Amino acid sequence: MADDGDRHRQSRLFTDDDGAFDADRAREESLPVEDGEVIDTDDLADHQRYVEGRGIYDERNRVNDLTGKEWKYATKSVIAEGYPPAVQHDLRSEHGGQKPPRLCAELIGRFSKAGDTVLDPFAGVGGTLLGASFCEHDGTGLREAIGFERTERWIEIYREVLEAENEERRARGEPPLAEQDMRHGDCVDLIDDVPDESVDLLLTDVPYWDMDEREQTRNERATRESKLGSFGGATTDEAAVDADEGIDDRRTKADWLADMATTFDRFTDAVAPDGHVVVFIGDMYRDQSYEFLSADLARAIESTAPLTLAANQIWYDPTKDLHVYGYPFSFVPSMVHQNVLVFRPEAASETEN
Ligand SMILES: C[S@@+](CC[C@H](N)C(=O)[O-])C[C@H]1O[C@@H](n2cnc3c(N)ncnc32)[C@H](O)[C@@H]1O
């Protein structure tokens, strides 16, 4: 490109009325801009290229398709983002433990590349699968996703959601979301059909130790308690419900942790050596103490499966309703976050520089 004199002249074209650099104007003129500076693309190394509107992408990136600028944001330890009801939320909420598909798409974008394979062995109504499909249109490209789910009703809902969503997309003139490979059965059996090292990202949301069985009681109790004087129209204290039920969690929790540890050990052969295993898990308050489920689960998985914990990204939902628990006698946390545990296969962690 131009010599220094030309460069100087060119940059002057993108000043605002006060003579300051006008990044918006430069962007409109399709000049590469990152962090408010015009990038001299001649200065980029061979393995770097400028991606229009997104910044510099480094071809050596083995983790995802993000540019440096996007990577910086994606490695933040807190994801402070509310995901308002969307993607046929009413249908999906029959499940009760569903995750926002847009959040899943965000995580898939952080931990995989276009064309990669994503597995969710506890797929529910398909938050991960829908997220993988969103990546084709709103991210860096389609991921192939496989889901395992043992409850047929949740699979039916996934299909209904996809159909309804695609009808709306067609009406808006948008391309349809791809249908992903949802399989019915027990993940412990179905994992045997997945070839070794074929999964680039295992993204899942684990079943809680005795949550499934107690969901019904909790919902009934929730409705009752919301009528009994919680503040500001808040609903129930999940923790208080658990304490009230007087269930001996300790043995069950140990069983659950052991079960999760062996299950994840079985999954690990399917994960590529430079892949990731990403697990949603909320902590809980019960029997008047904080249950650090995320830490317990991380340690249990690490102790059995050849996986190393690389990060815990906190998903903080600023839109979550606050409830008043314990007031005025006891400090009880009002949970507005979930943990997103990020594991890497051990071999990959050992070779990291
Ligand atoms: C926390 S939910 C996952 C919700 C999901 N992230 C979503 O967006 O819908 C866990 C799911 O795992 C399923 N599940 C539990 N044990 C399973 C097993 N052994 N094999 C397959 N699915 C199982 C449950 O039926 C439940 O739907």
Name every residue whose Cβ is closer than 8 Å to that of residue 193 and which is 6 or more positions away in sequence. Answer: none
CB 300 within 8 A of CB 332: no
43 lies in the same domain as 188: no
Residue 145: predicted pLDDT: 98
* Domain membership flag for residue 70: no
pLDDT value at residue 28? 67
Q: What is the pLDDT of residue 349?
A: 61
Judgement on whether residues 23 and 86 belong to the same structural domain of the protein: no
Work out how many domains the chain is built from and give that number.
2
**158 found inside a domain:** yes
Q: Classify residue 207: in a domain, yes or no.
A: yes
Taking the CA atoms of residue 79, residue 99, residue 88 and residue 233 in that order, the dihedral angle to the nearest 10 degrees is -80
Do 175 and 271 have their domain in common?
Answer: yes
Q: What is the DSSP string of 141-166?
A: ---EEEEEES-HHHHHHHHHHHHHHH
With respect to residue 65, please indicate whether it lies within any of the assigned structural domains: no
Q: Tell me, yes or no, whether 37 and 107 share the same domain.
A: no
Among residues 270, 265, 342, 269, the alpha carbon closest in space to that of 305 is found at 265
pLDDT for 231 equals 26
pLDDT of residue 5: 41
Q: Find all residues with CB under 8 Å of 2, minimum gap 6, and list them.
A: 10
Instruction: Give the atom of ligand 1 at the shortest distance from the alpha carbon of 122.
Output: 12
CA dihedral 125, 130, 131, 133 (to 10 degrees): 160
Q: What is the pLDDT along the chain (353 residues), one digit of tens a residue?
A: 334 444 444 445 667 778 777 777 766 666 677 777 777 777 889 999 988 888 899 999 999 999 999 999 999 999 999 999 999 999 999 999 999 999 999 999 999 999 999 999 999 999 999 999 999 999 999 999 999 999 999 999 999 999 999 999 999 999 999 999 999 999 999 999 999 999 999 999 999 866 444 444 444 444 444 433 332 222 223 333 333 333 444 468 999 999 999 999 999 999 999 999 999 999 999 889 999 999 999 999 999 999 999 999 999 999 999 988 999 999 999 999 999 999 999 976 665 54
Please say whether the beta carbons of 315 and 342 come within 8 A: no
Q: Are residues 28 and 163 in the same domain?
A: no
205/211 Cα distance (integer angstroms): 13
In this structure, are 188 and 281 located in the same domain?
yes
pLDDT at position 92 is: 97
Judge if 115 and 141 occupy the same domain: yes
Pocket of ligand 1 (CB under 6 A): 95, 97-99, 122, 124-127, 148-151, 154, 186-188, 205, 207
In this structure, are 146 and 172 located in the same domain?
A: yes
User: For a substitution probing ligand 1, which of 93, 104, 122, 205 has the most ligand atoms within 8 Å of its CB?
Assistant: 122
Task: Residue 223: give its domain's CATH number.
Answer: 3.40.50.150
**What's the pLDDT at 126?**
98
Looking at the domain assignment, is residue 236 inside a domain? Answer: yes
| Rounded-to-integer distance, Cα 122 and Cα 190, Å | 11
Mutate which of 83, 134, 149 to test ligand 1's pocket (most atoms within 8 Å of Cβ)? 149
| pLDDT in the model for residue 233 | 27
For residue 230, is it within any domain? yes
Residues 281 and 179 occupy one common structural domain: yes
Task: State CA 41 to chain mean position distance.
Answer: 33
Closest approach atom of ligand 1 to CA 99: 8
Alpha-helix runs per DSSP H in the chain: 4-12, 23-28, 68-74, 89-92, 101-111, 127-138, 152-171, 187-190, 211-226, 238-245, 249-268, 293-304, 346-351
Instruction: Tokens for 310, please give them.
Output: 């690389």
Question: How distant, in Å, are the alpha carbons of 97, 194, 236, 254, 257 from that of 287?
Answer: 22, 40, 16, 16, 18
- CA proximity to 199, closest of 310, 295, 307, 302: 307
Instruction: Identify which of 261, 132, 249 has the alpha carbon closest to the alpha carbon of residue 201.
Output: 132
Judge if 56 and 85 occupy the same domain: no
**Is residue 324 within 8 Å of residue 237, measured between CB atoms?**
no
Question: Does residue 11 share a domain with residue 146?
Answer: no
Nearest-atom index, ligand 1, CA of 154: 27
Residue 344 structure tokens:
């890497």
Domain membership flag for residue 149: yes
Residue nearest to atom 4 of ligand 1 (CA): 124
- Domain match, 260 and 145 both: yes
Q: What angle do CA 345, 350, 353 make, to 5 degrees?
A: 120
Instruction: Please give the pLDDT value at position 149.
Output: 98
Q: Is 69 inside a domain boundary?
A: no
The pLDDT score that the predictor gives to residue 216 is 43
**Whether this model's pTM surpasses 0.85:** no
Token pair recorded at residue 41: 């693309």
Domain that holds residue 8: 4-60
Residue 26: what pLDDT?
A: 67
Give the pLDDT confidence score for residue 210 in this predicted structure: 61
